[in-house]
Structure 1
Amino acid sequence: MTLWRIRATVDDRPGYLSVLTASLALRGVNILTVQVHTTEVGAVDDFLVDAPDRLTEADLRAAVERGRGRDCWVARSEARGLADQPTRVLGLANRLVREPDRAGEALRTLLGADEVTWRPASAGRPGGVGERTMLLADPAGGTYELRRREPSFTPAEYARAQALVELAATAARRDADRVTLVLSDSAEVRLRPATADDLAGVVELHDACSARSRQRRYLSGAARPAPARLRRLLEPARGITLLATAGPGGEAEPVVAMANLLGEGDEAEAALLVRDDWQRRGLGTALLRRLLGHAERAGYAAVLLHVQAENTPMLRAVRRLDRPTSVERDGGVLTVTVPLAVRAVPLPRQADVPAH
């Protein structure tokens, strides 16, 4: 028996797929897996089959055509093709989390592309999918161009590939946030994204801060928030939390500052908590700049900060951003709005991609 991949378009009507599978079964072909790609011209069925050694590519094409399939593509497959698509995608995703700079290689593996090329961003070339060419917007900037002679790309493959590219960009951004900052007094702190495992360190940060610092951060009171709330802050549904650590090095470094960016709608809210002995050293300003950078890349229209009117250090950090702001006052609390440059992302259109 020999492994083959067969892709064919079938009218999306009751019973038509069974006619195709029956035609293959009459020739002793065993269907191992099947994926269905919905398109405008019908359902594109992608089969992995085990066929008798005597059958040729022409025999399989003929069987598909007798089973009312059209636009048939047939090619030999390997044993690794036995892995189902979700398993393959999860494996590639795991690799990209560890090595985000290998996105091109992952795309080639995922789609069996003949060519994968990254190009700088250029006007008039939004993402999209054609028969032989696929363009994927790289969230980090630029475009991936994929070419494959056969079979034709499908919208489902485009969606999977774009999700993989976005995952790689997210992983790369997380790596980029692992930096060492040298403050104005030559002290060094290390920045990194927070995870759920940082809960104990963040609790210690809150305990080490004065009641005044906690009250300035949360506005509603000086008590330390409950662990459940802190856990939600560490891994927000939309946004990011950055931690600054300082010490002799290693995973046990104490957390000396926490910066939160929480998204809601087209705006995001930023907030900082810096340990008292690390205040007035430029750390808050550096963290705030990084939060604004994240918000811009995520496409938020503005970042809001709710600041007590007497919180001079925080207001000074905002002024150091050297950005336009607007301020509204409600009693003793100021709402500072920092507008961001909105980057429009065009929707993919098939007409935008030439069919080569």
Structure 2
Amino acid sequence: MSSDQPNKALSRAVTEKLRNGQVVTIRPMEPGDIELERVFITNLSPESRHQRFLGGVGAPSQKLLEQLTDVDHNKREAFIALIEGEDPAKEIGVSRYALESSGKAAECAVVIADEWQMQGLGTLLLDRLIESARARGIEHLYSIDSASNNRLSEVARHMGWERRSDPQDSTQVIYTLDLTAT
């Protein structure tokens, strides 16, 4: 598949069941999701915001929200998880990547609302992101994260990501997944 052609299967919403039995919808992010993203980030605990943004982010700025929801589904991809049947919709997780200029690697991130962690949602969102990256011919995904994020370390190990210390910052680690391996 050409890296310029989005995978139609990945452009649809899917439903998944979490460990606790809750059904969630996972779908591509849209520009109209800016308010969902604002509420989601604002409601993250300070620790979760720190783990995601590697620094102190309080209430997200309008500029940040526009950047996060400006997804072209080619060079920048994002999938959000919504609680099934909630009105208004409630975002409980997001996965995203941004393609490097080489077109061969992309930096990715996943964040789950505090009360929805440890239910398998992070793995589901990451699987969808990996599927999207492979469909676009991306060879490697990587993530720069806090070395103290033990939950992520366990998930990454379980999913086959390689972990190494960040040579520029000893408080961070870099996880890498080779997407060309079968």
Partner of 1:295: 133
RMSD between superposed Cα atoms in Å: 2.0
| Alignment partners' CA distance in 2, 1:320 and 1:289 | 12
**2:83 touches 2:90 (CA, 8 Å); kept in 1?**
yes
Cα deviation, 1:263-313, whole Å, max 9, x if unaligned, reads: 112210110121110011111111112111111111112101111111011
List runs of 5+ in structure 2 lacking aligned partners: none
**2:31 touches 2:71 (CA, 8 Å); kept in 1?**
no
> Is residue 2:45 matched to residue 1:231?
no
| Alignment partners' CA distance in 2, 1:241 and 1:212 | 22
Q: Which has the higher contact order (CA 8 A, sep 6+)?
A: 2
Partner of 1:255: 91
**1:214 touches 1:224 (CA, 8 Å); kept in 2?**
no
Partner of 1:332: 171
The residue type paired with residue 263 of structure 1 is L
Cα deviation, 1:235-275, whole Å, max 9, x if unaligned, reads: 3351311110015346x211111111111122101101211
SS of 2:176 mapped into structure 1:
strand
Partner of 1:134: none
TM-score normalised by length of structure 1 = 0.46
Higher alpha-carbon Rg: 1
| Alignment partners' CA distance in 1, 2:161 and 2:92 | 29
List runs of 5+ in structure 1 lacking aligned partners: 1-138, 141-162, 343-356
| Alignment partners' CA distance in 1, 2:7 and 2:130 | 16
Give aligned-pair identity as a percent: 24
**1:285 touches 1:320 (CA, 8 Å); kept in 2?**
no
SS of 1:270 mapped into structure 2:
strand
TM-score normalised by length of structure 2 = 0.86
Structure 1 residues 137-152: aligned runs within 5 Å:
139=1
**2:95 touches 2:108 (CA, 8 Å); kept in 1?**
yes
Partner of 2:82: 245
SS of 1:190 mapped into structure 2:
strand
**1:183 touches 1:283 (CA, 8 Å); kept in 2?**
yes
| Alignment partners' CA distance in 1, 2:85 and 2:127 | 26
Alignment match of 2:27 (pick from 168, 192, 198): 192
The residue type paired with residue 260 of structure 1 is R
**1:235 touches 1:241 (CA, 8 Å); kept in 2?**
no
Give the number of aligned pairs.
Answer: 174
Cα deviation, 1:77-111, whole Å, max 9, x if unaligned, reads: xxxxxxxxxxxxxxxxxxxxxxxxxxxxxxxxxxx
State the 1:227 CA deviation: 2.0
State the 1:324 CA deviation: 5.0
